[in-house]
């Protein structure tokens, strides 16, 4: 049964409204500021490549922290334990790989689209394939990012989810369209501040309510929620090898090569600033992950003897975070409003980044070449119109999200499919000189089909039981359960009846996709004659130096031969 909703006060609404007003104001400011000048494609997508370091770092962080990240990871820890702290280990590879292999290439080529690289390295068909994969992934991610805050707002106010989705999507599209890239990143700065403040307040109140951090740790240990390492097999939901060998690959793409983040790196003037911003991004994101693990255990400690899911107070474990805020709202004036503001900020930052990136990709990769003589003003207007269309598409797609599983798992599966295909292409292009256009296409298609096959094969079949919940502390009118410890699971079939391939944990999807993609791409390239790289800037620097050395040696030998 549903618990009565806590009152959403005028102060709570004021925090909520502030997010909208500030976001809209920033967008209008940059629209007014640029009214007398023609906004070029580079201005709209990269801010003219002269954006200062601070807002770019804040925007990178805010873009990476979606509402689904905060609520999903917290719910994951509450139901399955703190194993997701190992996610932070996978992130440590990012600041080493990006500045060494990929960022120097894009910095030297001065591109506005990461997919333009594929046309230079391979051909236009590969570019369009990569762009199509990114746009498809964006369409899958967008409804998730907006559904989370809408679900949260519905939980604390009772307002219909789809009304909230519509308002949020159209507001985000409005300030993204009129203000461009600079409006997006400066809005992200404000939204990041709200995200951090709301998280800290919720965590501190939760710890105080349970009587201190020591009680939180003891409750977490009793419930088996504090998990340091999981070294079990490939079938386990989350394991150390899965994070190190698979999620690390997804992280390299998602936080570095994804067009939304790469735009921010390329808006900086040099590689040194790009490297520094990468390190700060990963450090803050690691802190966020550990913070979500702490908050998940804090919430569990507060509901140790009466789980709201088993008591029928909430319908999905993803609702545990907003329910906790609603339950404790009376402890802090404006508590509900601050929390909602933080979740909406996280969603707006991610959504606006995808709107901006996707509109640019659609124009540059699918439209601009058809009208070679069109003006920059026409390009800007087209991208603004595209943002509005994307908002309506997002609203429509939200209707399908309620039928899906846990937010954290669903998000990782979507990103794994995307990372498997696009990281395959980036790797073949940057570190496999023999790779050609045929191999690139074969590799990308193999990667995406392999992950898609695993996703489809596991739908409705594999649902690992969560850790035990207790209901012995609930009031009699809240639950009809006789048992005091409950394992909640939606598993349909016995795992032994499922084909072994579909029992592989979703954590390994990215690894499988990238491995099969690169292997098949390399073989296809060799079988079709390989490739010879003309412009050495298309290769990673460490390979480039080797190629240059070989070329210089050939020139030297040729010169000596002529002199003889």
Does any domain span residue 2? no
Q: How far is CA 386 from CA 167, 258, 367, 382, 392, in A?
A: 18, 20, 11, 6, 10
SS (H, E, C) 394-431: HHHHHHHHCCCCCHHHHHHHHHHHHHHHHHHHHHHHHH
pLDDT of residue 7: 63
Q: pTM here?
A: 0.81
Per the structure block, which two tokens stand in for 256? 């570095």
pLDDT of residue 312: 83
Does any domain span residue 551? yes
Torsion angle in degrees (nearest 10) through CA of 284, 285, 291, 293: -160
CA distance 171 to 177: 10
Does any domain span residue 224? yes
Q: What are the respective helix, strand and coil percentages of the chain, to the nearest 5?
A: 75, 0, 25
Does any domain span residue 470? no
CA-based torsion, 312, 316, 317, 321: positive or negative:
negative
Does any domain span residue 481? no
Residue 470's SS3 state is: strand
CATH of residue 198's domain is: 1.20.1730.10
CA distance 489 to 464: 7
Residue 469's SS3 state is: strand
What averages of pLDDT result for each successive group of 10 residues across the chain (564 residues)? 56 78 76 62 60 82 74 85 83 91 90 86 94 87 81 77 87 79 76 81 89 92 81 60 80 86 84 91 89 92 90 82 80 76 78 85 82 65 88 86 58 73 94 95 94 76 68 63 44 54 77 93 95 88 67 49 46
pLDDT of residue 177: 79
Q: Which domain holds residue 549?
A: 10-362+377-464+496-559
Number of domains in the chain: 1
- Do residues 417 and 449 touch, judged by C-beta distance below 8 A? no
Does any domain span residue 5? no
CA distance 250 to 447: 13
Does any domain span residue 107? yes
Does any domain span residue 483? no
pLDDT of residue 294: 93
CA distance 170 to 394: 10
């Amino acid at each position: 049964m549903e618990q009565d909703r806590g009152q959403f006060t005028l102060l709570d609404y004021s925090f909520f409204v502030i997010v909208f007003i500030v976001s809209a104001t920033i967008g209008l400011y940059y629209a007014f500021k640029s009214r007398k000048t023609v906004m070029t494609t580079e201005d709209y997508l990269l801010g003219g490549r002269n954006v200062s370091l601070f807002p770019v770092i804040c925007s990178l962080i805010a873009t990476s922290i979606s509402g689904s990240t905060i609520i999903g990871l917290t719910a994951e820890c509450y139901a399955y334990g703190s194993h997701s702290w190992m996610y932070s280990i996978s992130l440590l590879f990012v600041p080493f790989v990006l500045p060494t292999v990929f960022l120097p290439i894009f910095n030297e080529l001065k591109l506005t689209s990461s997919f333009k690289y594929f046309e230079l390295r391979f051909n236009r068909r590969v570019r369009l394939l990569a762009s199509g994969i990114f746009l498809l992934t964006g369409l899958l991610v967008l409804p998730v990012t907006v559904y989370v805050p809408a679900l949260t707002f519905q939980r604390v106010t009772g307002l219909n989810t789809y009304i909230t989705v519509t308002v949020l999507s159209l507001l985000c599209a409005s300030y993204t369209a009129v203000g461009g890239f600079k409006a997006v990143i400066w809005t992200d700065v404000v939204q990041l501040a709200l995200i951090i403040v709301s998280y800290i307040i919720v965590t501190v109140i939760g710890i105080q309510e349970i009587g201190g951090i020591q009680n939180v740790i003891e409750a977490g240990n009793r419930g088996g929620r504090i998990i340091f390492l999981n070294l079990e097999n490939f079938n386990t939901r989350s394991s150390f090898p899965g994070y190190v060998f698979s999620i690390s690959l997804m992280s390299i793409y998602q936080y570095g090569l994804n067009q939304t983040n790469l735009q921010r790196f390329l808006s900086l003037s040099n590689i040194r600033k790009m490297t520094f911003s990468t390190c700060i991004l990963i450090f803050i994101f690691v802190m966020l992950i550990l913070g979500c693990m702490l908050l998940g255990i804090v919430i569990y400690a507060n509901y140790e003897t009466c789980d709201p899911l088993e008591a029928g107070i909430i319908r999905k474990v993803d609702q545990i975070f907003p329910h906790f805020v609603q339950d404790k709202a009376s402890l802090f004036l404006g508590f509900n409003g601050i929390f909602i503001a933080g979740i909406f900020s996280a969603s707006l930052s991610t959504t606006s980044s995808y709107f901006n990136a996707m509109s640019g990709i659609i124009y540059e990769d699918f439209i601009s070449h058809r009208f070679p003589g069109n003006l920059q003003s026409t390009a800007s207007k087209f991208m603004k119109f595209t943002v509005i269309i994307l908002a309506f598409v997002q609203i429509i797609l939200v209707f399908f999200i309620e039928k899906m599983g846990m937010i954290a798992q669903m998000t990782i599966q979507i990103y794994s499919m995307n990372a498997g295909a696009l990281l395959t292409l980036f790797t073949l292009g940057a570190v496999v000189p023999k790779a050609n256009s045929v191999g690139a296409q074969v590799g990308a298609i193999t990667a995406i089909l392999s992950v898609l096959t695993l996703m489809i094969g596991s739908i409705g079949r594999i649902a690992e039981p969560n850790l035990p919940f207790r209901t012995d502390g609930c009031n009699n009118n809240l639950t009809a359960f006789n048992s005091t410890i409950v394992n909640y699971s939606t598993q349909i079939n016995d795992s032994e009846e499922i084909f072994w391939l579909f029992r592989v944990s979703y954590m390994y999807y990215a690894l499988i996709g990238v491995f099969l993609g690169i292997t098949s791409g390399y073989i296809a390239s060799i079988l079709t004659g390989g490739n010879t790289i003309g412009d050495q800037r298309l290769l990673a620097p460490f390979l480039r130096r080797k190629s240059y050395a070989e070329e210089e040696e050939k020139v030297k030998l040729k010169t000596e031969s002529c002199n003889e």
